Amino acid sequence: MKEQINKIKEQALKDISAVEEIKTLNDVKVKYLGKKGELTSVLRGMGSLLPEERPIIGSLVNEVREEIEQAIKAKEEKFQEMELQEKLEKETIDITLPGTKIKRGSKHPVNRVIEEIEDLFVSMGYDVVSGPELETDEFCFERLNLPKGHPARDMQDSFYITKEYLLRTQTSAVQARTMLANTEKTPIRMICAGKTYRREDDATHSHQFGQVEGLVIDKKERNVSLADLKGTLEIFVKKLIGKNCELRFRPSYFPFTEPSYEVDVSCFKCGGKGCSLCKQTGWIEVLGAGIVHPHVLEMNGYNPELYGGFAFGTGLDRLAMFKYAIPDMRYLYTNDIRFLSQFDRKDEE
C-alpha cells in the first residue's frame, strides 16, 4: 500500500507541474484530493489493514496530501503572478498621448462689471458687503422711509413670498442692514452688488436684474457733501464706461435720500449729439443718488444731528451693456456660449 501511495504522489506532482492553465489545475485537485479522488479511496481501503498498520498508512496519506496541496498552491500562485504580469504589460499608459482638453468657461459680463466696481471702490477704502436676496418688508422698504401703503412702493411691484418676506427689489435694503450693524461705531463706506427682483418683464426690463449700492456715512464735522458724491460718481462712471463721459445731476425723488438726484451720463455712442441709443437727448440715465435722509439715519441707529452721508445705486445689467456695447439685455440671460465666450478677449483690451 505504501508503494501505491508513493506512486499516487509522484503521478500527482508530475500532473501538477504539467498543468498549463488554472482550469486544469482544478481538475487535478479534484482527481487526487476530491471526495472521489485517488487518495481518498486509499483511505477508504484502510479497513482491510492490520490495526497496527493503520496509523502508519494514515499519517503517510496525510503527508502526501499536504505535499500535493502545497504543490497546487505554489502553482496557483504562479498563475496569479503571470496573470498580473500580463495585465501590467497590457495596460501600460502612454504618457506622451495628449490629454482630454477641459473646456473652460468665461466670466459673465455682469460678474466682470461687479469685480471691476468692487476693485475700484476697495481702492478708495470701501468695504464690500452683501445682504440677503430674500428680504423682509422692513429692510426693503420700512427702514428706508417707505412705510406700508407708501405710493413709491408701486414703482417696485414685488414678488412677495409671505406678507413679511419678499425678493428684494433694491440693494438699498443693505443700506439699512449696514447702518444697524455699525450703529455709530465706525464711519461707513460700503459697496454692495447683487441680484434684485421686480415684477416686470418687457424688452428693456427683466424680472431679475443686478444692482450695485454705495453708502458713505461719517461724522457731521467730516462734512460728507454733495461735492463728494459727485466726485465719487465721476470717478466711478469714467473708470467704468469711459474717460470722456460727462455727468449731469437732475433733481429727483427717492424716499431714503434728500435731496435726491438722477444722474445721467453723456451718450457714449454719439458723444452727446443725439442718437437712437440716447433717444436724441444726448444723455443716458445711469444712477440714482442723494444725501441720506435724516429719518433713515435715525431709524437705523445714527443720530442725524451728528452723522450724515450719501448713497447711490445703479443697475449692473445696463452698465455691462454700456461697457461692452451689448445691444440687447436678453443676451445677458440666455447663456449662449457664442456670446459669453467673447468676453475672454475683452480683458486684454
Chain contacts with ligand PHE (rule: CB under 6 A): 170, 172, 213, 254, 257, 288-290, 311-313
Minimum distance, C-beta of residue 304 to ligand PHE, in the bound complex (Å): 16
Minimum Å gap between C-beta 289 and ligand PHE is 5
Quick one: which of 271, 246, 251, 263 has its CA closest to 315? 263
Rounded CA-CA distance 37/30 in Å is: 6
Is the dihedral angle over the CA atoms 108, 110, 113, 119 positive or is it negative? negative
* Beta carbons within 8 Å of 150's beta carbon, 6+ residues apart: 141, 255
Cα distance between residue 146 and residue 140, in whole Å: 9
Closest CB to ligand PHE among residues 236, 312: 312
Query: Of the two residues 42 and 311, which places its CB atom closer to ligand PHE in the complex?
Result: 311
Q: Which is nearer to ligand PHE, 5 or 166 (CB)?
A: 166
Amino acid occupying residue 343:
F
SS3 at position 168: coil
Give me the least distance between CB of 144 and ligand PHE, in Å please.
8
For cell 500532473, the residue is 15
DSSP 15: H
Q: How far is the CB of 257 from ligand PHE (least distance, A)?
A: 5
CA distance 82 to 123: 67
For ligand PHE, the closer of residues 266 and 314 by Cβ is: 314
Report in angstroms how near the CB of residue 313 gets to ligand PHE at its nearest.
3
213 vs 317 by CB, closer to ligand PHE = 213
The position carrying cell 451718450 is 267
Query: By beta-carbon distance, which residue lies closest to ligand PHE?
Result: 313
Nearer to ligand PHE, 210 or 313 (CB): 313
Q: How far is the CB of 271 from ligand PHE (least distance, A)?
A: 27
